[in-house]
């Protein structure tokens, strides 16, 4: 089915009572449900779904949608209309956040390259349901790699509907040729979006931290690019141990575009950004590192006699870029071969083992999520992990529009299937 036919089907469904079809296994449309549920909820509505809602006929892993430009334009216009209709003036929301809220909210965004589109779609749903921009729902935002770019976009008041369009344009500019890609197009993109001379501390709310990997030492160390002064208790690199180790740049001098570039310097995709590699090597899911940072920040306030400024966390929201399907591995055996057949087997095993090691180091799900959930439960913090199961393994540098729009559609179905969890989250985010 072409994009034009799908748009016509959606419009005719709307004419029949504002009901939007859901995807089926064959890629068609069926199982009509109210538009407010297929796109989560309209702004300001957090009540329970209507009894008329129907379950999608198939899971998100079988959902498919033609990725033509018409479908993307329609999606962008709908989201901009819904969000702008409910968005309140920034100064009012900032005042509400500072004066009414007694506890802090933390948003954590995983790395994942162009799959950051999944995070964008999740944030669009949250903005629609709350009627409030992401920037005014959270007090802390942590991001890694593509999540770091989105954290900065939130800080600089860029709408997620706008960022979705930016990502579709950016991939064609940045992922050209073969890996490793030229760094110039990515850096120009970041300068264009955030400014060439903008500093991290130019915008102070919400507090934002981006992860990076200091690779000029062994072992490498995690570094946080902040828009606030680091707490004194943070164990920064031990400069005194080696005269060749430079101290980190202060937040007031740190360029925003360079912080984003450093956090997203994925090995084999881009060359290092100075002494920095991608933050995903050490914290592809930055939740626990962000919680540690907030605890140390609060402890520093107490030591300085500013305990009245301390706000404990009440909600942690962790957004992923989608889980890839689990596949069997036949061999990871590496040994000294005695014949050509064994040599081929060893080479294949080394390749599979190398991929497994990288995947284990950068896996944002699994035990990383289990630990974050357990820590939050022990501390009495509400924890939400939101990431859809994807039908295919999507590369960080995927440029096929159809593949990416399919991932967005799978995310929409995931939002519908987990609508009760989303409603609970929105209620907590909107409570004082």
Q: Which two tokens mark 283?
A: 């914290």
Q: Which of 278, 289, 314, 318 is catalytic?
A: 278
d(CA 426, CA 432) in angstroms, rounded, equals: 12
Q: Which residue has the tokens 């005014």?
A: 136
Q: Convert 351-389 into a string of H (helix), E (strand) and C (coil).
A: HHHHHHHHHHHHCCCCHHHHHHHHHHHHHCCEEEEECCE
d(CA 108, CA 388) in angstroms, rounded, equals: 16
DSSP 93-150: HHHHHHHH--SEEEEEE---GGGHHHHHHHHHHHHHHHSS-GGGT-SEEEEETHHHHH
Expressed in angstroms, the distance from the first to the final Cα of the chain is 46
Q: Which of 3, 36, 130, 145 is catalytic?
A: 145
Q: Which residue has the tokens 């179905």?
A: 413
DSSP state of 199: B
Phi, psi angle pair for 43, to nearest 5°: -55, 135
d(CA 354, CA 347) in angstroms, rounded, equals: 11
Phi, psi angle pair for 141, to nearest 5°: -135, 125
Q: What's the sign of the alpha-carbon dihedral 48, 27, 324, 107?
A: negative
Q: Is 3 a catalytic residue?
A: no
Q: Is 159 a catalytic residue?
A: no
Provide the annotated active-site residues. 145, 278
């Amino acid at each position: 089915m072409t994009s034009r036919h799908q748009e016509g089907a959606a419009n005719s469904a709307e004419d029949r009572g504002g009901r939007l079809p859901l995807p089926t296994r064959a890629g068609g449309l069926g199982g009509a449900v109210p538009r407010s549920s297929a796109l989560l909820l309209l702004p300001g509505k957090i009540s329970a779904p209507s009894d008329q809602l129907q379950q999608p006929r198939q899971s998100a892993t079988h959902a498919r949608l033609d990725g033509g430009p018409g479908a993307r334009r329609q999606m962008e216009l709908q989201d901009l209309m819904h969000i702008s209709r409910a968005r309140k003036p920034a100064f009012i929301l900032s005042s509400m956040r500072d004066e009414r809220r007694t506890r802090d909210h933390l948003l954590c965004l995983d790395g994942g390259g162009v799959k950051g589109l999944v995070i964008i779609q999740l944030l669009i749903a949250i903005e629609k349901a709350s009627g409030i921009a992401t920037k005014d729902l959270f007090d802390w935002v942590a991001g890694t790699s593509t999540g770091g770019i989105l954290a900065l976009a939130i800080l600089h008041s860029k709408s997620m509907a706008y960022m979705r369009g930016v990502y579709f344009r950016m991939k064609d500019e940045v992922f050209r040729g073969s890996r490793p890609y030229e760094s110039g197009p990515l850096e120009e993109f970041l300068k264009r979006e955030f400014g060439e001379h903008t500093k991290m501390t130019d915008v102070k709310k919400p507090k934002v931290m981006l992860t990076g990997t200091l690779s000029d030492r062994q072992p490498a160390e995690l570094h946080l690019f902040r828009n606030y002064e680091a707490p004194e208790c943070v164990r920064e690199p031990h400069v005194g141990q080696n005269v060749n180790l430079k101290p980190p740049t202060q937040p007031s001098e740190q360029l925003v575009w360079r912080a984003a570039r450093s956090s997203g310097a994925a090995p084999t995709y881009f060359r290092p950004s100075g002494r920095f590699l991608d933050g995903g090597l050490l914290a592809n899911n930055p939740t626990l590192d962000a919680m540690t940072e907030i605890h140390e920040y609060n402890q520093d306030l107490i030591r300085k006699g500013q305990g009245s400024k301390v706000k404990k966390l009440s909600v942690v929201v962790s957004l992923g870029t989608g889980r890839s399907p689990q596949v069997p591995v036949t061999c990871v055996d590496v040994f000294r071969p005695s014949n050509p057949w064994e040599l081929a087997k060893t080479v294949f095993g080394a390749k599979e083992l190398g991929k497994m090691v990288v995947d284990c180091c950068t896996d944002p799900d699994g035990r990383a999520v289990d630990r974050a959930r357990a820590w939050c439960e022990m501390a009495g913090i509400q924890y939400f992990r939101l990431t859809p199961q994807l039908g295919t393994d999507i590369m960080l540098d995927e440029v096929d529009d159809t593949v990416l729009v399919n991932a967005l559609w799978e995310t929409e179905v995931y939002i519908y299937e987990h609508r009760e969890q989303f409603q609970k989250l929105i209620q907590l985010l909107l409570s004082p």
